[in-house]
Structure 1
Amino acid sequence: MKAAGEGRHELDAVSVLNAKRTLHHLLEAAGISSDETEELLELVEAGAVALAHQEVEQLVGEAPERKGEAYGAGWLDGARTVAEAVGDLAERALRQAVAGRAATAPDARPPVRRMEVARAKAAAVPLYLSFTPASDLDPEVTDQVLTAVLGTMGAMRRAAYAGRLTEFATAQHVRLERLYAEYGPGSSIAIHGRYSLVHSPTSVAVLERLAAAPEALREEWDAAELPPAWLDGLTAAWGAPAD
C-alpha cells in the first residue's frame, strides 16, 4: 500500500510560485526586468493551457467502443464540456498575458516592446539558419527591421507570431531554399546593395509580412526610415522565376 502523497506526481501552487520567483531572481540578475519576466512567464502559462486544450479535444472522439453507445454519448458530452472549459481558460490566459498591450480595437497596433523583438528574433534565427549557415547583417539593423515587422500586428498576433512564422517557412520551404541559395550568404550576390536583407534572419519575417500585410509593412518600413531598396530587392528576389 502506497503512503499518502505517493503515486502520481503533480506540482502544487507553492512549488509553482517558488519556480516563478526563482526565475524572476535569475533573470533580474541578468538584466531582465521583472515586468518582462512576468510577460514571458504568462505567455508560457497560456501556452501550456492551450496545449492542454488541444490534448483534451483529441479525447472527444476516443470513447472506447466496447463500452457501448450510451457510454460513448456520455463520453462525447463530457469531453466537449471539458474541452470548451479549457479552451476558455486558454483564451483568458493569453489575454491576461498581453493585458495592457491588447487594445479594444482589433486592428490597433501598440508600440513594439523590447521583449517582443527578442521573441521574434528567437523565432526567426533558427528558421533562417535552416536555410543558410550564417547571417551577415548588423544586429542593430536586425532589431530595427523586426520592430517594423511587429508593428504591423496587434499584441495578440505578436504573442503567437513564432507559430505563424514557422507555418510560413514550412509552407514556402522550396521557395525559401531557392532564395537563399541564389541571393543569400555564400552566393555570388554581394551583401551591400538591394539584396542585403536576404543576408539577415529578418528576411523570413519580412517575407511573411509581405504575403500577409504588405501595405502595413511598407507603412512601418517608411516610418522606421529603413532603406526602401532592401524591401524592393527582397520582393524582387522572392518573385524571381526558378531556373
Structure 2
Amino acid sequence: MTNAKRTVLELLGRAGMFPGEAEELVALVEAGAIAGAHSEIGKPQGAPAGSGEAYAGGWRDGSLAVSDELGRVAERALERALGPALPGSPGAVARDRHPVGRVDVERAKVAVLPLYLRFSDLSELDPEVSDEVLAAVLGTMNVVGRVGYAGQLEEFTSSRWDRLTRLYAHYGPRGRIAMHGRYSLLHSPTSIAVLERLVATPSALRTEWEHAELPPAWLDGLVTAWQASKTPPD
C-alpha cells in the first residue's frame, strides 16, 4: 500500500501537480473509498436463510461491530485528509463547510468529460467559466460526496441514457439550437454535472449558483431543456 501510494504521488508530480495538492488528492481518494465501503456495509444485511435465532443474532451483532469500526477508520481517514474537526463542532458539520478546492474541480473535470462525449462533441467553453460552474456544483455536497462524485455521475448518465440522448441531440452542438444564449451550457461538459445536481438537489444548486454569480439564464435554460426532453417527440 505504501509503495503504491508513493508511486501515485510520483506520477502526479511528473504530471505537474504540486506535492501538497497530490497528497490531498490521494488522501481524499483513500477517505472516499473507506467511506464508500462503510456506506455499503452499513446497509442492513440479513443472516443466511434457514439460520437459527442465535446465529442470526450473532450475525447482526458482528455486522454492527464491523460497520462501527469501519466508520471509525473512515473518520480517521477524513482527519488525515482534511485535518481534525473544529473544536466544539461535530466533524460532519465542519467538513461539510470544507471549501471547494482546485483538486475537487480538476477531479470533476476528469469525470464529466468522457460522460459528455458519449452524447455530444467537445466545445470551446472558457476554462475559467467551467471552473466556476463546477465549483458551484461541488458546493452542494460535502467532501465525501465530492470524492465519490464520479461514480454518482456515471450512475446518473446510465439511468437516464435515453433522455440525455434526446436532450443533447436537440440542444447540444449538433442540434438546431444556437450555441449562444440560454442553452449554451449544453455545449459544455460541465452540463452533465449541473443536470445531475438539478435532479438531486435543485434548491442547493440554485443557492450556490446565485452565490457564484453565474448567469441565471444558463440554469433556467437547462431546466427548460431537461423538462422538454422528458418524453420523446411525436
- TM-score > 0.5 by shorter chain: yes
- Which residue number in structure 2 is paired with residue 8 of structure 1? none
| Preserved CA contact (<8 Å) 2:157 2:164 | yes
The answer to whether the aligner puts 1:20 opposite 2:5 as a matched pair is yes
Matched, 1:141 2:129: yes
Residue in 2 aligned with 1:29? 14
- 1:155-175 CA-to-partner distances (Å, cap 9, x unmatched) read 333233223333333333332
Deviations 1:61-85 (A, max 9, x none): 57697x9886676555445433442
Taking the aligned partners of 2:206 and 2:49, their CA distance within structure 1 comes to: 54
Using the TM superposition, give the Cα deviation of residue 117 of structure 1 relative to its aligned residue in structure 2, in angstroms: 0.2
1:213 maps to amino acid? T
TM-score (norm 2): 0.76
Helix, strand or coil at the partner of 1:131: coil
Query: Is residue 79–residue 85 contact of structure 2 (8 Å, CA) maintained in 1?
Result: no
Q: Pairwise mapping of residues 31-180 of structure 1 onto structure 2 (< 5 A)?
A: 31-50=16-35, 53=38, 74=58, 77-99=61-83, 104=90, 105=93, 109-180=97-168
Following superposition, the deviation at residue 176 of structure 1 comes to 1.5
Whether contact under 8 Å (1:110, 1:151) holds in the other structure is: no
Instruction: Give the gaps of 5 or more residues in structure 1.
Output: 1-15
Report the CA distance between 1:109 and its aligned residue.
3.5
Return closer, same or farther for 1:109/1:54 CA change in 2, 3 Å cut-off.
Answer: closer
In structure 1, which of residues 194, 197, 209 is the aligned counterpart of residue 182 of structure 2? Answer: 194
Aligned match of 1:9: none
Q: Considering only aligned residues, what root-mean-square deviation do their CA atoms show, in Å?
A: 3.4
**Could you state the TM-score of these two structures normalised by the residue count of structure 1?**
0.74
- The structure-2 alpha-carbon separation of the partners of 1:76 and 1:235, relative to structure 1 and needing over 3 Å to count, comes to closer
Higher RCO by CA contacts (8 Å cutoff, separation 6 or greater): 2
1:211: how far off?
2.8
Structure exhibiting the larger radius of gyration computed from Cα positions? 1
Percent pairwise identity: 55
Confirm or deny: 8 A CA contact 1:146 1:202 kept in the other structure.
yes
The count of residues paired between Structure 1 and Structure 2 equals: 227
Post-superposition Cα deviations, 1:100-132, rounded to whole Å, max 9, x if no partner, equal: 699753695443210000111122222222222
Contact 2:32-2:148 at 8 Å conserved across structures:
no
- What CA deviation, in whole Å up to 9, does each residue of 1:166-201 have, x standing for no partner? 333333333212111111121121212211101111
1:81 maps to a residue whose letter is A
Provide closer, same or farther for how the CA distance between residues 89 and 216 of structure 1 changes in structure 2, counting only shifts above 3 A.
Answer: same
1:177 maps to a residue whose letter is: T
Q: Which residue of 1 aligns with 2:223?
A: 235
1:6 maps to none
